[in-house]
Amino acid sequence: MLDINPPNSDLDTVAGWVLGTSLVIMVAAAVILGNVWTGGKAFGSARLTSRGQTGVVLVVIACVVLASISGAIKYSTKDSMTEDLLPEAAKQRTIRVDRDSPSSKCEELVSIASDKHLDGKKDKADDEEGVQYKPTEAEAGKMGKAIREIGADKMAADKVWTKSIAWGGRFGDMPAKEDWKENRADYMEKHTPMYSRIQWLPDGTKGKCDNKNFHAAKGAPVEVIFWELYKTGSGSNHDPTGGAKQYGYRMFRIPVT
């Protein structure tokens, strides 16, 4: 519930400033004219005495008038004094806005990952040693099922990255975002990927904010990281240059719409 009150008029504040300034000026004038009056009497000058007398009286009258005007303004700007004089439609109102509490939404990303995911970053392993970070069939199967539950396997990826096992750059590799959906069969055959980690933002209006809620919130992408065979080595058709096998990671970002 939100209460909104219209702002009060500042006219009474201005009136206070005017009255205060005027009183300061008038007090100064009264002091000067009082000195003229007493000085005229002291020197026996009827003209100065008369002017001083008249000036002091005028200052007093001006002070009374200003005080009355300022008081009237102060009185008229008070809501309690003017409310009854206004027609019903013109009276000040408090605007009440009823707002429902926002729907429950999750703020933290959740994930499912292989136990060995990114261990290579800590060990600074070479890509040739990346096989030791291969997810188990059970781990990869669990993540694949979650991706199908989310529906991300039918969505198109908008970005893709490749990384070495130690999560460094992989030079010479030109990944394609189409490998996620459109060219998945070719990608699977060439790199034999396995799910290593998946991450998404659950929709809190359709379940709990944990990794068992496979309703992904719209506007937050699903992130998938595959462990993959980067180079098959041994002079195969895929890698005619030979050499040892190399492993790495490929990450896809899939927008949820």
End-of-domain residue from the set 97, 131, 159: 97
Describe the crossing of helices 11-42 and 46-76 by its angle, rounded to 10 degrees: 170
The boundaries of the domain holding residue 162 are 110-254
Q: Does 103 reside within a domain?
A: no
Residues 167 and 93 in one domain: no
More confident of the two residues 208 and 236: 208
Angstrom CA distances, 78 to 11, 20, 60, 64, 191, stand at 10, 20, 28, 22, 80
End-of-domain residue from the set 31, 66, 97: 97
What's the pLDDT at 99?
45
Euclidean distance between CA atoms 118 and 39, whole angstroms = 100
End-of-domain residue from the set 97, 127, 148: 97
Residues 180 and 242 in one domain: yes
Among 102, 220, 103, smallest CA distance to 150 is for 220
Show the tokens assigned to 177. Answer: 């975002």
Name the CA radius of gyration of the chain, rounded.
Answer: 42
Q: Does 193 reside within a domain?
A: yes
Q: What is the pTM of this model?
A: 0.57
Give the single-character DSSP code of 172: T
Q: What is the dihedral sign for C-alpha 27, 31, 37, 38?
A: positive
158-217 pLDDT, tens per residue?
999 998 888 888 776 788 999 999 999 999 999 999 999 999 999 999 999 999 999 999
Could you give the number of structural domains in the chain?
2
pLDDT surpasses 90 at 56: no
Tokens 């990608």 locate to 187
pLDDT band at 100 (very low <50, low <70, confident <90, very high): very low
Q: Does 49 reside within a domain?
A: yes
pLDDT band at 101 (very low <50, low <70, confident <90, very high): very low
1-49 pLDDT, tens per residue?
445 454 445 555 666 666 667 667 767 666 665 665 565 555 655 665 6
